[in-house]
Chain A
Amino acid sequence: MLIAVTSLTLIAGCLGLILGFAARRFHVEPPETVSEIEAMLPGSQCGQCGFPGCGGAAAALAEGSAPVTLCPPGGPALARALAEKLGVAADLGAMAEHEPTIATVREEICIGCTKCFKECPTDAIQGAMKQIHSVMKEACTGCGKCADICPTEAVSLVPLPTTLGNWRWRAPACA
């Protein structure tokens, strides 16, 4: 009994020492991550994350004060990539609730003021003075800046319509 306890304690102690030594000896300085993370983010400075722009978000991510799921335009794919990059677990549950949205223009109340497309970070809205504006679905990130600025509330965010191109099978019932 005593022999077993002693030997196991000794082995554990030795291994602990080796691990402790290795952690110090082979310590690697974390690389300059902020700029790398910023490159991964969409870069549209849309502000949906609550930070001033992608740069701010990258800094917060690098110091660990923001969740990897912060970027709605990036979606789960980006969250996963960020989690891998930062070596943290991504809680994609919160992400799934955030359905991707895009802006639409209600043509009957659009007055053609051009404010929305001056605001759009990706030039996704097309139009001209006193002409009805319209949104190009492929370019819209759903940031909502246009909806905020529209004087007639003609621009609103709607869930991304399901088409044959983006439809996919749901998970099997027993999953």
Chain B
Amino acid sequence: MGFRDLMDEVKLRWGVHPAGHKALTSECAIECMPLPERLTLPLAQHIGAPARPVVTPGQRVLRGQLLAEAVGAVSSPVHAPSSGRIVDIGDYPVAHPSGLTAAAIVLKPDGLDEAVDFADCDDPHGLEPAEIARRVAAGGVVGLGGATFPAAVKLGLGRRNPVQTLLLNGGECEPYLTCDDRTMRERPEAVIDGARLMARALGAEAIVIGIERNKPAAMVAMQSAAAAHPEISVRGLPARYPMGSEKQLVHFLTAVEVPAGGLSAEVGVVVHNVGTAAEISRVLRTGEPLTHRAVTVSGAAIARPTNLRVAIGTAVSAVIAHCGGVRRDVARYVMGGPMMGMLLPGTEVPVVKGSSGVLALVADEAGGGEASPCIRCTRCAGVCPIGLLPFEMAARIRAGKSEAAVDIGLKDCIGCGSCAYTCPAKIPLSHYFSFAKGSLAAAERARLKNESIGKLTAARSARLEREAQEKAEAAARRKAEREAAKRDAARAVAAEAAAGRPQDSQVSA
């Protein structure tokens, strides 16, 4: 460890050092997994509005064909990972701790893997910035680090705020996961190319790639790939969880703090994942949309832990079976990393765009146990990357006062779980915060609904009033018509009479 690294370690006053377990898969090259029997493609694999299907059951589709289009400004399309027939569009289990279902398109691959004609591009660097963002959006690229925010929306941030720096997140601070590490080692040119394209779309002058120092091989690969480009610098990061969190990364690498509740673009920085960069390079050069991704399959229960390139929509059970199945009792299946990943209710859920890992953990790894009372040791406050007081927030939430927890920063909590990880009393701190955030979101939904009900009621009274008025008007009109008809009839009678006596014509007129 050099002097600078030592200074970094001293400087950082937050974070935890969970056991990495990265050696399980860090030397396993990303191998392509063969296509499974069927692919389940959820319509909401991103943050934002779910995509709208443009295919019908029974239809045959080709690889790369659009299956569901983006709806609205923050959304992302879904494409077919292989050729085959659409079996169904309906509700299927998805990766979510609730075990609930969500709308998905089910595709049965026919094994021919016929593709649509892709519009490849030899020189994507010659494209206009807006055109780069448009193609990224059309390619269905979302943040592959796990946040799944549509990448093109983030590329458009440069239009609203001047962005000076593009940060590439190669931290991969979650234990077990090595797919970003492998991507940087195997495709460093693609990462650099994608980063330069993103910087062009953003109008950013500098690119900084942050890589944790526990990935020396990735660091060397990226440094040699970036050597030809003076605007790119590759920086080492202390191996500390949650280094890969956006606000922490920005603060560490640029010494600028992102304001509470704000976006990093407001301080002129946009952060993307290295995997996203590699995909953007591929999408722009080949014209092929995002339909596959690198996934780390790991955990002590997996017979053959490795890194796989998996077709999106492949069931977790198929992925695990490809890796030799499980060899020990599984305490917990997790999608993503063990710290912030999604607890899976079962393995019949599909791998989606945001799935960086599939973990089968045994009881020793899963941790847990009985919680005991808080002794106010304040270790949780010491590790919190935001500088919050987790023990105090949890105490307030436990007393049923979620609003009081908001007063001391619940909304700034990034849910990294460092506090719960470090708690010697095993208090499920992050569970408390998820619960409180859920209650607050429910209260907000109720408030919005109340507002909309007020509007609807007002609209109804307005409609009833209008209808009554229209009815009255119609009645008045009919009455007038009737009277006019009566008058006309009377006039006609009078005219007839007048025809008999011409001298009275002036009177009847």
Contact = CB atoms under 8 A, between A and B. Distances in A.
B127 interface: no
Nearest to A76: B443
A92 B439 CA distance: 13
Given A75-B446, A169-B434, A139 B453 contact: yes
A168 B441 contact: yes
Interface string A63-104: 000000000011111101000000000001000000000000
Most chain A CB within a 10 A radius of its CB, from B96, B450, B454: B450
Interface in A159-175: 162-164, 166-172, 174-175
A141 interface: yes
B430 to A, nearest CB: 10
B449 A138 contact: yes
A122 B428 contact: no
A126 interface: no
A156 interface: no
B505 interface: no
A121 interface: yes
Interface in A38-77: 42-45, 73-77
A124 interface: yes
Contact of B457 (A78, A121, A138): A121
A122 B403 CA distance: 30
Interface stretch (B115-123, B257-265, B301-309, B458-466): B458-466
B428 A123 contact: no
Contacts of A78: 446-447, 450
A138 B459 CA distance: 15
A145 B400 CA distance: 34
B17 interface: no
Contacts of A169: 97, 431, 434-435, 438
Contacts of A166: 442, 445
A42 B460 CA distance: 14
Nearest to A92: B400
Contacts of B434: 169
Contacts of A45: 457
A78 to B, nearest CB: 6
B98 A162 contact: yes
B442 A43 contact: no
Contact of B100 (A43, A44, A76, A163): A163
B435 A42 contact: no
A77 B447 contact: yes
Interface in A118-175: 121-124, 138-139, 141, 162-164, 166-172, 174-175
Q: Is the interface of B mostly helix, strand, loop or mixed?
A: helix
Interface in B377-430: 397-398, 400, 403, 427-428
B439 A168 contact: yes
Interface residues of B, number: 38
Interface string B101-128: 0100000000000000000000000000
B450 A74 contact: yes
Interface in B62-110: 94, 96-98, 100, 102
Given A139-B456, A175-B398, A80 B431 contact: no
A171 B102 CA distance: 24
B100 A164 contact: yes
B428 A172 contact: yes
Contacts of A75: 443, 446, 450
A167 B98 contact: yes
B435 A43 contact: no
A72 B400 CA distance: 20
B456 A168 contact: no
A171 B460 contact: no
A43 B447 CA distance: 13
B371 interface: yes
B442 A168 contact: yes
A32 to B, nearest CB: 20
Contacts of A162: 98, 100
Contacts of B447: 77-78
Residue from A123, A162, A172 with most neighbouring chain B CB atoms (10 Å):
A172
A164 B94 contact: yes
B102 A73 contact: no
A123 B442 contact: no
Contacts of A164: 44, 94, 96, 98, 100, 102
Nearest to B451: A42
Contact of B453 (A42, A76, A167, A171): A42
A47 B470 CA distance: 29
B435 A172 contact: yes
Nearest to A170: B435
Of the listed residues A43, A73, A124, A170, the one surrounded by the most CB atoms of chain B closer than 10 A to its CB is A43
Contact of B460 (A74, A80, A121, A172): A121
Given A44-B457, A121-B457, A169-B97, 17 more contacts: A42-B453, A42-B457, A43-B453, A77-B442, A77-B444, A77-B450, A78-B450, A138-B452, A141-B453, A164-B44, A164-B102, A168-B439, A172-B428, A172-B432, A172-B435, A174-B428, A175-B435
13 contacts: A43-B457, A73-B449, A77-B447, A77-B450, A78-B450, A121-B457, A123-B459, A163-B100, A164-B102, A166-B445, A168-B435, A171-B435, A175-B435
Interface of A: 42-45, 73-78, 80, 92, 121-124, 138-139, 141, 162-164, 166-172, 174-175
3 nearest A-B pairs in the assembled complex, by CB-CB distance:
A168-B438, A77-B443, A122-B456
